[in-house]
Amino acid sequence: MARNYRKEYDNYQGTPEQRKRNDARKKARRKMVKKYGKAMLAGRDIDHADRNPHNNSSSNLRISSVRSNRRRNG
């Protein structure tokens, strides 16, 4: 059975709450790219220590591997 990406977007990813959370995660990544450079972040995730994507303070953000970040938050 194939995934219905349109339905997923309409029912979850496209909701105002989830769009705000996604925007906050993108903002955190842009902040870290500005601080460390794009090459250092290649293939890595930006981890929010308190798991709150709206808290983009420098003390809350850290660079982590994709595997460890997604295992921790998954």
**Residue 49, pLDDT score:** 94
pLDDT of 74 over the 80 cut: no
Domain that holds residue 19: 5-73
> Residue 37 in 3-state DSSP?
coil
Cα distance from N-terminal residue to C-terminal residue, the chain: 23
Confidence of residue 73 (pLDDT cuts 50, 70, 90): confident
pTM score, whole prediction? 0.85
**Residue 38, pLDDT score:** 96
At 20-58, the pLDDT tens digits run 999 999 999 999 999 999 999 999 999 999 999 999 999
Confidence of residue 71 (pLDDT cuts 50, 70, 90): very high
* Count of CA atoms in the C-beta half-sphere (13 A) of 36: 18
**What total number of domains does the chain contain?**
1
